[in-house]
Chains A and B, each alone.
Chain A
Amino acid sequence: MARSQTALPGSAMAGILRDAALYALVAFGLCVPIIAYRTDPGPGTDLVLVPRWGLVAALCAAIFAVRLVQRLVLLRRDARRALTPAPTQATEAVHGEPDAGQKTSKLGLRLFIGIALTLPMIAALATGGLSSARYWIDLGILILTYVMLGWGLNIVVGLAGLLDLGYVAFYAVGAYSYALLSTTFGLSFWICLPLAGLFAGLWGMILGFPVLRLRGDYLAIVTLAFGEIIRLVLINWGDVTGGGAGISSIPRATFFGIPFTAGEDGFAARFGIPYDSMHRLVFLYYLILSLALITNFVTLRLRRLPIGRAWEALREDEIACRSLGIDTTATKLTAFALGAAFGGVAGSFFAVRQGFISPESFNFLESAIILAIVVLGGMGSQVGVAIAAVAMVGGPEMLRNLGFLKAVFGEGFDPSEYRLLLFGLAMVAMMVWRPRGLISVRLPSVSLGERRAVSGAHVSEGHG
């Protein structure tokens, strides 16, 4: 193609046009009839069809244009590339040098932590007051919850290489532990928090024990089955879990025993500051931030211990691990249980923040989102996970603010409707373009002599 551009620009162009037309034709086939006719409830029980051929035409035209531009750009790039040898043609082993992402990650990390630590202040200053910053602090809490979940799952998926599609089960166990313990026994949040982690970890062990002899895809599917079983039990075991209606009026978090109320012994009165309902939210923000950072700290430390190294070895090659005398079952089980425990702690935080939980919060999609965060972050990279959580949770949230699109697509257009659609597309696109995630270069945890970054392409995780 590249050479023919110089020799025969006309025929190359015709080929590209034909190719783009083919794409548009396929798009047309996919759109008919699922987009062309919308089924709306009509009079009675019957459905009526509403034709939307204009939309189909617009979509096909868009596909045609995108493909045309893509091909033209590729043509240029190929022509340029033909002049320089590809790096894959190197005769010596290529070590991934620390790339730009790796070099800036130290600075980026500090910036990141700095923003995370001061977000409530920044938001309050920017929006002029704590209560108007509510949206931003809420968003921060949401993102940090996912950062914590992502770091928890990262132990299982990123470090030990075990694909867990039912992680949300442990999140649910944690949330329900706190909700049930506090509403039936009146235990305080601070006692329940470690207990929730403990319970979730225990469940991780119970579920992990039979599962961990499986490999790869099978492990993924069984964990998915367990996640669904736990959710279905939560829905159907109405006497204990409140069924589909869930549990409401879960006690709120206290400042180590001091409630956030306007009364005499409330937080504001004790500390001699004017009462503001936002104190609780800011406290929750710092709570989840510290929980997330604890998760991060524990993970980073564990990576240096023999157990952490065993996890990573397991991810790279299970058979080699076994022949070196590593007890693979125990190693997998610790990763599974530890990841589950962090999930449980995050779950109990979720329960205390919401004050209400129901099984619908713990469906498969939630597991998929957490997994997507870990994968997009570049499995095993802590910073990557945090960035991915911001992108995956904060990004869709931004969709709500795209009101101007209404002017383009008409009044009935709601960008947040497309949140999960784009989410699914992003997952596929990420796998196609950067299957190793955002930060795919990693430094070995332990090495002899100089520590050299290893490109993600040289490691083969995910066989566990």
Chain B
Amino acid sequence: MDVFVQQLINGLTLGSIYGLIAIGYTMVFGIIGMVNFAHGDVFMVSCFIALITFLILTAWLGVSSIALAFLVVLVVAMALTALWGWAIERVAYRPLRGSFRLAPLISAIGVSIFLSNFVQVVQGARNKPTPPMLSGGITLFERDGYAVFLAWKQVLIMAVTAVLLTGFWYLVQRTPFGRAQRACEQDRKMAALLGIDVDRTISLTFVLGAALAAVAGVLYLMYYGVVSFSDGFVPGVKAFTAAVLGGIGSLPGAVLGGLIIGLIETFWSAYFSIEYKDVAAFSILAIVLIFMPSGILGRPEVEKV
């Protein structure tokens, strides 16, 4: 039971991070119907931006308040990663709109390869350890010498995720931008006829997706304390799995999927084998896509002739 509760906490933490990345996948797929394969690498880039910003703040500027440093890192990482997301959409995806269906996916694979190798070239191939940003926590309860521990950083991750998701949900459901975005999702041509700037809406979608990936990146860096140039691929695929599992195109679905994937991964590692945890994630991806391609909260895709 104690191990179970501990793994539950760990799984929810991991799941929150996956959920944040998954939103980027799900929104982009919803609006232009492409798998943004580079999204995982955008997340990785944001980890590096966060790492460098944090080092500048603490080592050079001597900021000692962790709360202030965290906030500044978060804002800087979100802004700069959003710029990356915007630039990528502009350069690699927008010219391909109206091209054949697989072109954006292939272009995205190219961007993904470019980003990870770009970071490798400019930052080196080694793992980058970070000084712990936030340590400590509370022991929830203790039985038979096994303490169930809730770290402050886990609380922070879950809290930030919850707050951001609420804000994001509000943005999509209640603001003019959200309305434009949902309209483009339903029918891009019709939305354009009704005076919505489709290109701008799609750009903004990428910007928001990248900003959320940056939040995930900051949290990931804080949680694991280490990042390398190749860290984008596997979290990216897992977040995509989460998006598909939750029902691609659905925002609550993405978060739900993220939490489920996070829980499955931690429980699998704890009770079965840690070596095969990625196999488990990839298998879920395959099984979900084959047997329930519309996911848990998604609408089934209607094939029109």
State the A residues within 8 Å of B (CB): 26, 29-30, 32-35, 37-41, 45-49, 163, 165, 210-211, 213-214, 216-218, 220-222, 224-226, 228-229, 232-233, 235-236, 319, 364-365, 368, 371-372, 375, 417-418, 420-421, 423-428, 430-432, 435-436, 460-463
Contact = CB atoms under 8 A, between A and B. Distances in A.
Contact of A34 (B35, B45, B237, B279): B45
A322 to B, nearest CB: 10
B285 A428 contact: no
A37 B87 CA distance: 21
Contacts of B35: 217, 220-221
A368 B105 CA distance: 11
A32 B79 CA distance: 11
Contacts of A39: 51-52, 55, 123-124, 128
Nearest to A419: B117
B107 A428 contact: yes
B107 A218 contact: no
A423 B120 CA distance: 14
B101 A462 contact: yes
A218 B293 contact: yes
Listed residue (B87, B109, B282) with the most chain A CB atoms within 10 angstroms of its CB: B109
A328 to B, nearest CB: 13
Given A30-B87, A228-B237, A424-B117, A462 B100 contact: yes
Nearest to A157: B102
Given A26-B87, A49-B56, A431-B110, A417 B105 contact: no
A225 B237 contact: yes
B289 A221 contact: yes
Interface stretch (B90-98, B145-153, B165-173, B256-264): B90-98
Contacts of B283: 225, 229
Given A39-B52, A431-B106, A225 B285 contact: yes
Contact of B96 (A45, A222, A368, A432): A432
Contact of A431 (B103, B276, B278, B279): B103
A217 B110 contact: no
A150 to B, nearest CB: 14
A385 to B, nearest CB: 15
Given A33-B49, A217-B105, A418-B121, A26 B110 contact: no
27 contacts: A26-B83, A29-B80, A33-B80, A34-B119, A210-B286, A213-B290, A214-B289, A214-B293, A216-B102, A217-B34, A217-B101, A220-B35, A222-B285, A229-B286, A232-B279, A319-B305, A372-B106, A421-B121, A423-B113, A424-B114, A424-B115, A427-B107, A427-B114, A428-B110, A431-B99, A431-B106, A435-B99
Interface residues of B, number: 66
Contacts of A40: 124
A432 B60 contact: no
Nearest to A414: B121
A421 B114 CA distance: 5
Listed residue (B104, B113, B233) with the most chain A CB atoms within 10 angstroms of its CB: B113
B240 interface: yes
Given A39-B123, A368-B113, A220 B84 contact: no
B113 A220 contact: no
A460 B122 contact: no
A282 B209 CA distance: 52
Main secondary structure of the interface of B (DSSP, over half): helix
A217 B106 CA distance: 10
B237 A375 contact: no
B219 to A, nearest CB: 19
Given A33-B52, A49-B59, A235-B275, 14 more contacts: A39-B123, A45-B129, A46-B131, A163-B102, A211-B290, A214-B290, A220-B105, A221-B244, A222-B286, A228-B237, A236-B275, A236-B279, A432-B92, A436-B100
Nearest to A318: B303
A426 B55 contact: no
Given A26-B83, A421-B117, A462-B102, A431 B285 contact: no
Given A210-B290, A232-B282, A431-B107, A47 B56 contact: no
Contacts of B117: 418, 420-421, 423-424
A40 B59 CA distance: 14
Contacts of A45: 129
**Nearest 5 pairs between A and B by C-beta?**
A427-B110, A424-B114, A424-B113, A431-B107, A462-B102
A226 B52 contact: no
A34 B49 contact: yes
Nearest to B90: A26
Listed residue (A26, A216, A426, A431) with the most chain B CB atoms within 10 angstroms of its CB: A431
Nearest to A365: B113
Nearest to B48: A34
Contacts of B114: 421, 424-425, 427-428
A294 B92 CA distance: 37
B218 to A, nearest CB: 14
A213 B292 CA distance: 12
B118 interface: yes
A219 to B, nearest CB: 9
A427 B131 contact: no
Contacts of B45: 34
A30 B100 CA distance: 29
B112 interface: yes
Nearest to B303: A319
A375 B101 CA distance: 13
Contact of A47 (B84, B110, B118, B129): B129
Contacts of B303: 319
A161 B45 CA distance: 33
Contact of A216 (B53, B101, B118): B101
B83 to A, nearest CB: 5
B126 interface: yes
Contacts of B124: 38-40
A427 B109 contact: yes
A360 to B, nearest CB: 12
Listed residue (B33, B115, B119, B290) with the most chain A CB atoms within 10 angstroms of its CB: B290
B12 interface: no
A228 B128 contact: no
A425 B92 CA distance: 9
A393 to B, nearest CB: 15
Contacts of B107: 427-428, 431-432
A83 B61 CA distance: 60
Contacts of A47: 51, 55, 128-130
B157 to A, nearest CB: 23
B52 A425 contact: no
B255 interface: no
Contacts of A418: 117, 121
